[in-house]
Structure 1
Amino acid sequence: MFRISLKGSRTTLGDIGEADLKILVDQFEEEHSNDRDYFVNADSLQLLVEAGISPDFADMLRIALANAGAGDGDGIDIVWQRV
């Protein structure tokens, strides 16, 4: 399992499995091999959904975006860690 949190505040959003993590990592450009943080907005969430993330992971990200008050171009920074 992998824990998804908001970067900075470290507020836990929830846990995901290996398949969701693989899609997340594959869809985003990594700055280095140990990169574990990603910027997610409405557009990138749609790309993740189209790539096949689970409905639970999609809902987790939608709720986090809504709670952050993220508009069209705004988003959140998330980070993952193995649990």
Structure 2
Amino acid sequence: MVTLKEKNSNRWIGTMSFAQLKFFNEELKEDHGNDQDYRISRATLVTLKQRDIAPEITAILEKAMGNDNVLEFYWIKS
């Protein structure tokens, strides 16, 4: 499992499995190969839903995004 944290505040936003993390690594572009952070928009969430992302992960990201249109988060091993 990995823990997801909001980049600016370091607040906990949820967890995901290593399999789900692998999906993110394949679907989302990291800035560099060793980075553990992501920047997603609401439009990106729609794309992830279309590519069969687990609904519980999409819900976590949407909730963490709140009223913002972009979410920056990172992961750490749990």
**TM-score normalised by length of structure 2:** 0.89
Tell me whether 1:29 sits opposite 2:24 in the alignment: no
Tell me which residue corresponds to 1:81: 76
Count of matched residue positions in the alignment of Structure 1 and Structure 2:
78
Tell me which residue corresponds to 1:39: 39
SS at match of 1:46: helix
Q: Share of identical aligned residues, percent?
A: 26
Give the C-alpha shift of residue 61 in structure 1: 0.7
Unaligned runs of 5+ in 1: none
Amino acid at match of 1:4: L
SS at match of 2:29: coil
How far, CA to CA, are the matches of 1:32 and 1:54 in structure 2?
25
Tell me which residue corresponds to 1:14: 14
> What CA RMSD, in Å, does the superposition of the two structures yield over aligned residues?
1.2
How far, CA to CA, are the matches of 1:23 and 1:5 in structure 2?
18
Q: Is 1:23–1:51's contact at 8 Å kept on the other side of the alignment?
A: no
Tell me which residue corresponds to 2:61: 61
Moved over 6 A (4+): none
Unaligned runs of 5+ in 2: none
